[in-house]
Structure formats: C-alpha cells, structure tokens
Chains A and B, each alone.
Chain A
Amino acid sequence: MGGGLAVGTLLLIGCRPPVETAPFIEDAKEDKYNIYSPLLFKYFLAEGIINGHTLLVASAKENPANILQELPAPLLDDNGKKELEDVHSAKTPEPDVNMKIAWRYQLQPKTEVGPVSSSRFGHYYDVSKRIPQELLESSKWHGFFLPEHIPPGLKGETCKKQKNILRIGIQNLGSPLWGDDICCKENCENSQRLTKFLYVLRGLLRSSLSACIITMPAHLIQNKSITTRVRNLSDTVVGLESFIGSEKETNPLYKDYHGLIHIRKIPRLNNLTCDESDVKDLAFKLKRKLFTIEDLAASATPLGTGCSSRAGGKKHLDF
C-alpha cells in the first residue's frame, strides 16, 4: 500500500468482491468464518499500543477489554524494548512525530523470522503469544461495548492534553448485533443509518488526528447497493478471501497460502490518481508466529523448479 495508513482516513476490511473482477475469483468466498479479519483488526490495535497511540475500540459482540487481551505480542530486539519503555513511560509523543501509522507485513524467506528494532516503520508480532499485560496497563484506551451501553469516556476531558493519534477500531459493523437489519433483509430500513454514520465518521477522521479500521461481514449483507455505498464512503477497502471450505484449498497454485487479499480501493488523497500496480494478486498465510502477505504473481513458480524467484518478488506492505 506504500507508506502506511494515512491519518484521517478509514480502512474497511471485508467487502464482498464484485462479480465483475478477474474471472478466477468469480465465485470467491469471503472470510466468512471470520478468522483473518479479526487478526488484521488486532494488528492495527497492537501497533497503536506499541507506538503509544490512544485507542478507541467498539464492538457489539466482544468486550473491548477482552479484545485487547488477545492482541499479539510484539517481537522486539533490545533497541526496540528500550524505545518501547520510553514511549510508555514518558507518554509524550515526539513533537515531530511521524503522523503516518504503519504495521508491516514483511515478506521474507521462510527461514528468516526475526525480531526487529521498533525504530523501524512498523513492527513484527508473534500471533502465538499475547501482548504483555504491562503494555496494556500503560496504554491509554477507550472501549465502547454496545450491550453495556458504556458511554465513551471522552466527555468532560479537557483539551489540554498532548496531541496524540487516536486509532479507532470498530468490529463487525453492520452485523445484526449492532441492531441493524442490513444482514437480515434485502429491503432494509436501516441502510441509510449505516451510510450516514460512515459519512459523519469520515468527517470526524478528516478533522482529527485519528485513523479508523472497520471490519464488516460483507458476505452477510443482503443488498448489494449497500456494499457499494459503504465502499464509496471508505478511503481504503480490503477484502479477505479465506480458502477454508473453498476449492482453492486444494489448488496447487495456492498450496502455501491460507487466503487472498483483494485491494478493492486505495485512497487518492490530495491526488487525482494513485499507483495501483503494487497492490495486485496478494495472498496471505498464517504460520505459527507470523502473518505474512506475498505477491502471488511474483512468487509463483512453475511446477518442478526451485523457489529461486521468491527473493525478487517481495513487497513491503505498510499499513
């Protein structure tokens, strides 16, 4: 995606791929078992904690406190650990803080799994371990859990605080748990409530130091027009297609992967155009520790030959 998730924008994960895209995904299934989109959601939040950003987590299904408990643990070398201590003890961001938010899915050969310095743009995470409790306790976060109608604890706070980036994560927006019927009926009454919310959210994001990630069960939305409108209101749209339960699970082309990533839309901020050449044909895999994303076209090798083409096909995907 080239450069991170820009402050002021909205990233939407999970939209249904359109029928008119490339023939080989014409019967694509989404991440309908909801396995991988929560993982990306947690990466976004974990990166916020590592960078000392404030979090706002909203969910209708899971208590935000529990979501945070399940964030992956960062992989840090000694330099990284020291920087992390500085971030969480001082609680004051650098005056010239880089306003771009990034989590990196570094493409690397299978044998190379290593910790990196946190001074780099983005961090690595070990998905088999939970984030240390002390990191959570020293972080600043707000939760919105619909069943408990907890009001956001933002009222009454004065504006005399240090400027910091707010990362907003909203889980499964549009699902019936949020009280909408867009996943239940084709002619629903609540579709405009959702799109109106997204529009106002866009306005809030544009006028603040915040970035938002939303996961949406697009495969449940009955009315295709809602999906299109939601997509138009988002800056970045990513679709996850899991191979679970699909014939692609046994396709030799995809034997090393667990699913595909479809970049439906990338932002055109302050520009008329954007370079789409780097965001095609992406696949992901989840191994014990790492979630990696690779350029499928570059890493594909003819059957019977070695894997020598891998090194040249790596892409850095900074979110």
Chain B
Amino acid sequence: MKVSNCKVCFVALVQSFSHYNIVGQKLGVNLTSARDRGQLVFLEGLKSALEVLFHSQEGPHPLQFLREAGAGNLQSLYTFVKDALKPSDSGESPWKYPVLLVDNLSVLLSLGVGPVAVLDFMQYCRATVCCELKGNVVALVHDTEGAEDEGNDILLNGLRHQSHLILRAEGLATGFCKDVHGQAEHPLEEATAHSPAGSKCHLPIQDTG
C-alpha cells in the first residue's frame, strides 16, 4: 500500500480493525493513517454486523444479507466495494490501481450465504476491479480438505478456476517447529526449468511482538 500507492478496499470479516492495524504496523503499514487520508476503505465486519442487526438502518448496508431470511445475496456488499474503489467523477485520482482484499470468504458461508452467491460476488468484483479498473483482488479462503464441507469445497473449486495465482499456506507436515511456521505452495500452470510446478517453500513469520 505504501509503495505501490494503491487505493485499497479491505472487507475484513474476521477480526477487529484494531487487530489488523496492529498487525499492519508490525509489517510497516499504518492502516489508521491510510484510512484517514482516504487510501483505505475498511469494512469492519464484526462491528457492521452489530449495526445492521441491532440498530435501525435506513438505506442499504453492505451486510444487509444478515437481516434477510433464506440464502442471502451479496449485491449490497458488491455495491459497497464498487463505490469504494471507483474513481471520482472527475476521473482524477491520487491512487494508481485499486485493490480489493477479503478476509475471508469462507465465513460468508457461516453467515447464511450460499457458495454460488459468493462466487457470483467474486465474479462481479473481478469484472469491476480487475477488468474495468485494472486492479487486483486478493481473497482468503479456508482450505477444508477432509472436513466434508461441501459448500466450502464448491467455493474453493470455483475460485481456483477464476484465480491467476493461488497461494496455499499450511502448517508443516512434520509438526510444530519454532523457527519455521509453515509452508507455502504456489501451483503454477506450467512448470519451467527454473520453477517446477507446485514448488513448496518454508516460511517463517517474523513477528516483532
């Protein structure tokens, strides 16, 4: 965000703003000041859920599907993202490209949204953010292999087909290790001489405490 000067919309469903802010500071990014200068539009899901359920709302709300009975649709959330990232009417913007971050899509299934609705939402976001606005979308999904979660499997398989890059992070197969926290795999479409497909690398996470 600091270096690339992008406009960012962060749909943060899992933790509070304070958590992401503190983690961001450890990574050298100040989310508070980014939000204050208009570079970051942050949707704090946990707080917004309380607003939409316990306080009377006028007009659409990005999480209004929580109020609806039955399988929700994410149209209002898409509208929120689109409004956050579209350039101003004048066409001038201090930011180069838009970025949509979502943490995470799997939790939407726990909130009553069907996997197809989530895939539809991602398709609309891709069309707007990637194709129209030439930006990027980064979304986190739980890998529930072996958990018999049919809904999440549909979501995961659908996203795999839509994605240009998949980064899969997991714990080490050999168990806990103090210095290496896990491994990441990026399955590539074609193996090259220098980068075999599906190469894994071990990664330590540096936490400045």
Contact = CB atoms under 8 A, between A and B. Distances in A.
A binds B: yes
> What interface size band does chain B fall in?
20 to 34
Contact of B106 (A192, A232, A269, A271): A232
A199 B110 contact: yes
The interface centre, meaning the residue of A20, A195, A199, A204 with most chain B CB atoms within 10 A of its CB, is A199
A272 B205 contact: yes
A188 B178 CA distance: 41
B31 to A, nearest CB: 13
Given A199-B107, A232-B142, A270-B23, A207 B47 contact: yes
A203 interface: yes
A27 to B, nearest CB: 17
A3 to B, nearest CB: 13
A275 B205 CA distance: 12
B77 interface: no
A185 to B, nearest CB: 14
B147 A196 contact: no
A279 to B, nearest CB: 10
B168 interface: no
A277 B180 CA distance: 13
A206 B151 CA distance: 27
A15 to B, nearest CB: 12
Given A206-B46, A207-B47, A225 B150 contact: yes
A204 B51 CA distance: 11
Given A200-B53, A232-B107, A270 B18 contact: yes
Interface of B: 15-16, 18-19, 22-23, 26, 45-47, 49-50, 53, 66, 106-107, 109-112, 142, 144, 146-152, 176, 178, 181, 205, 207
25 contacts: A18-B146, A192-B110, A192-B111, A192-B112, A196-B110, A196-B112, A198-B110, A199-B111, A203-B45, A203-B46, A206-B15, A206-B16, A207-B16, A207-B47, A224-B148, A227-B147, A228-B144, A229-B106, A229-B149, A269-B19, A270-B18, A271-B22, A271-B26, A271-B207, A277-B176
Interface of A: 18-20, 192, 195-196, 198-200, 202-204, 206-207, 223-225, 227-229, 232-233, 269-273, 275-277, 280
